[in-house]
Structure formats: structure tokens, C-alpha cells
Amino acid sequence: MRYIKMKTGTILSGAVLGAAAWIGFSGTAAAQDLRALEARIAALEAEQAAAPGVIANPGVKLTFYGFTKLDVISDNNYDLGNTTGGMAGVNATSLKDRSTGAHAYESRLGVKGSVDTDIGPLKFNIEGDFYGGGGGTFRLRHAYGEVGPLLAGQTWTNWVPAEGGPGAVQDFNGPAGGSYYRTPQVRFTYKPNENWRFSAAIEEDVAPGSASNLALTGFAGYSTGRLKLGMGVMSRSLETAGNDSVRGLGYAIGADFEAWEGGKLQLQYLGGKGIATALSNSAFAGLEVGAAGKYAFDIDANGDAIKVNTMKAGVTQKLGEKSDISVAYSFQRYDDYAGADASYTKKLSSAYLTYRYFPTKPLMLAAEVAWGEREQFDGTSFDNTRLQGVVKFTF
């Protein structure tokens, strides 16, 4: 359907000319009608001027989006807080403290837009949520622009595939083995056809004590009717306690496969050396080897990069048009390394059972059972079960 947009001045001119012609034939009564028409047009113009709206420069198109999300949580063994990331810090001194709570920190607000330029459309995206300051403070998630194949700004790291991530609704920290972080970068993307895309980026590194504070990343993605595949690699320069440079190298592969009607399989693997700080659940992993913790997590007492492997797997099945159910399992495991204490983290594991219901497209109701376990190098383990309910309104 096509729409024709006319300026108010054009409408007024047409209306006045038409009314004037009509007066020539109808006399005084028509003149009275004309004055009434003019008064009505003036009232409409005043109403239009007072109406709220978004003012943008010519050629700018804006789309606002976001959601509100209420999370109601209950932990059976340890109070993990707003996210499950606290499981990595549970140890023998942690008190067993069953807890319940609720928050809406994951609620999100964003704007996408484009500007017509002489070199093509310039696209941009700005988005934030309320997980800043531990929860309750607005924080920046995405802020980037794109023109042609070039992207510059802060968004998801280039090397970790979105493909293969299980559909848990729990929190932004996600299952063990995840590496979903956003970082400032400059990225170039090449798409030779509808199926393939390749990208390379220079990113700000997230490693503490990194020598250059920059990381190089590459990605290749393939998509067809039933299969989505992503493969990535990251190279980073790490600094040892002796000011030597150690190379960190990470690699990843993930896949989503529509295996049957309404059923989807998801699988993702991340591995490498010196990449622990790039993992979502490593903040309290206990790998603090090095002076004053500056070289935490990535380099051992001999100055070698620590090796880590992760895996995530999940199955999602639609239950009619308005609901689905999914199960997922994931882990991240650290190899033996020099300086590892018996109480340091050997392995983090997690499992999820999730049910989602959509009474209408913008509304999601969900219930989830999540289990997490932390295992130490001495074999001691700690586990927790979290029950979570979600009410999410998307706009």
C-alpha cells in the first residue's frame, strides 16, 4: 500500500482556493461557511503543533524498541544474587542460605536508526539496560554505527558465535562456558553471497594486564534453510609478572540445526589458551596467579597461558503455536597448571529446563529450573538449584 504525504500548507491552499470558488456561486452563506472552515483549520494546526512527537533531521529514520522483564528467583543452597555468576565464587566457607527475591534489572531500552548519505545509508544502534553498579543503574550495552561493510563502536565481540547458544531465559550471565561480552571495536564484514559472511575486527581486549589492550578477531558464518553455523578465532597479547609477552589464542564453533518439525538442536564449543577472562563465569574462578591479581585467570605461575575448554548443548521443542520447552547442559573446564591451589576451580557445570508461553507475541511468561556446580582441583564440589519465573513485555 502506498501513502501520499502532503504538507499542511498545501492542504490549506487547496482548501482556501476551493472554498473561494464555491463563494463565487453561493454568496453570503458560503462566506460564513468559509470562515468556519478557516477557524477549524487553525484549530487543527494548533493541535498538531502541541502534539508530542520525535523530531529528527530530514532523512533520519528511528525505531525505538526494548522490553521490561521481571525475574522472580529462589536459590535452594546458596544466595547467588541477581545472576548465576556467583556460583563460581562458592567455596567451603560459603554459608548455605536459601533465598528468594525479584528484580527488573534486565529491562532494556534501545533505538535503531538510519541516515541517508551520499555514500549510502548510515545505520546506528544505541541500547542499554539496568545491570550497572551491580543492579539498578542504567548502563551502556551497544553504541555503534555502520556504513557499508564498516562497523565502529561497542557491540558483541566478533569471534564468539551467537549460533549454538541454548535458549535459557535465566539472566545475562548465562550458562557455564559462555563468552558473551560487548567491547569497542572496528569491524569489516564481507558477504560474497546470501549464505556466507566473513568479518575481521580490532577490539579492545578484556584481559587484565594485557600488553596492548587490543585483540584481533576473525569470524566466518554460514546459513542455509535448516542450518546456521558460526566459527571464530581471537588472538590477544598477555603480559606476565616478569613483563614477558604470552600469546592467548581462542577458537569457537557453534551451530543451530532445525532437526525436525518444531525441533532445534544447538551446540557450541569454545577453547584455547589464555582466554579465561573472556568467559562469562570466570570472575570468581580462583585462577588468581600473579602479582596483586593483575595477571589473574589467564597465566600460570610459570608464565604459561592456562588452557580451558567449554561446551554447550541444548534441544528446543515447540509445543503448538504459543509455547516451547528446552533442555540444556554446559560446562567450562580448566587444565592443570603451575600454581593451582587445591581450592581453585577445576570445572563449572550448569543445566537448564525451561518452559516459555506467549499468550500474545509481545508477552512472554516463563518458568525455569537451573542447576549449577563448582568443582575444585581437590575434587570437592558445591552445587545449587535455582527456580525462576519470568514476565517479559516486549515493545
Cβ-in-10-Å burial (0-12, 13-18, 19+) of 180 comes to middle
CA 234 to chain centre: 19
Q: How far is Cα 251 from Cα 309, in angstroms, rounded to an integer?
A: 10
Q: How far is Cα 349 from Cα 330, in angstroms, rounded to an integer?
A: 6
**What integer pLDDT is reported at residue 341 of this predicted model?**
84
**Class for the domain spanning 60-394:** mainly beta
* Burial call 38-48: b when 16+ CB within 10 Å, e when fewer: eeebeeeeeee
CB 320 within 8 A of CB 355: no
Give me the mean pLDDT over the 377-387 stretch: 95
HEC string of 342-393 equals CCCEEEEEEEEEEEEEEEECCEEEEEEEEEEEEEECCCCEEEEEEEEEEEEE
**What integer pLDDT is reported at residue 36 of this predicted model?**
67
Any idea which of 239-243, 258-262, 280-284, 386-390 has the lowest mean pLDDT? 280-284
User: What does the pLDDT look like over 22-76, one tens digit per residue?
Assistant: 444 445 555 566 666 666 666 655 655 554 446 567 778 999 999 999 999 999 9
Q: DSSP secondary structure string, 61-81? A: EEEEEEEEEEEEEEESSS---
**What integer pLDDT is reported at residue 282 of this predicted model?**
64
42's enclosing H/E stretch is helix 28-50
Cβ-in-10-Å burial (0-12, 13-18, 19+) of 209 comes to buried
- How many residues in total does the chain contain? 395
User: What does the pLDDT look like over 76-120, one tens digit per residue?
Assistant: 999 988 888 888 888 898 999 889 999 999 999 999 999 988 888
Q: How far is Cα 258 from Cα 315, in angstroms, rounded to an integer?
A: 10
CB 307 within 8 A of CB 318: no
The CA-CA-CA angle for residues 308, 313, 315, to 5°, reads 170
- Cell readout for 271 is 577453547
Question: What are the strands, taking DSSP E only, across the chain?
Answer: 60-75, 99-103, 108-117, 120-132, 137-147, 150-156, 182-190, 196-204, 210-223, 227-239, 245-260, 263-273, 307-318, 323-334, 345-360, 363-376, 381-394
* Percent of all residues in the chain with a pLDDT value above 70, rounded to a whole number: 80
Q: How far is Cα 77 from Cα 73, in angstroms, rounded to an integer?
A: 13
Q: Where are the domains of the chain?
A: 8-50, 60-394
User: What does the pLDDT look like over 278-318, one tens digit per residue?
Assistant: 888 765 444 444 433 444 568 888 888 889 999 999 999 99
Q: Name 121's bridge partners.
A: 116
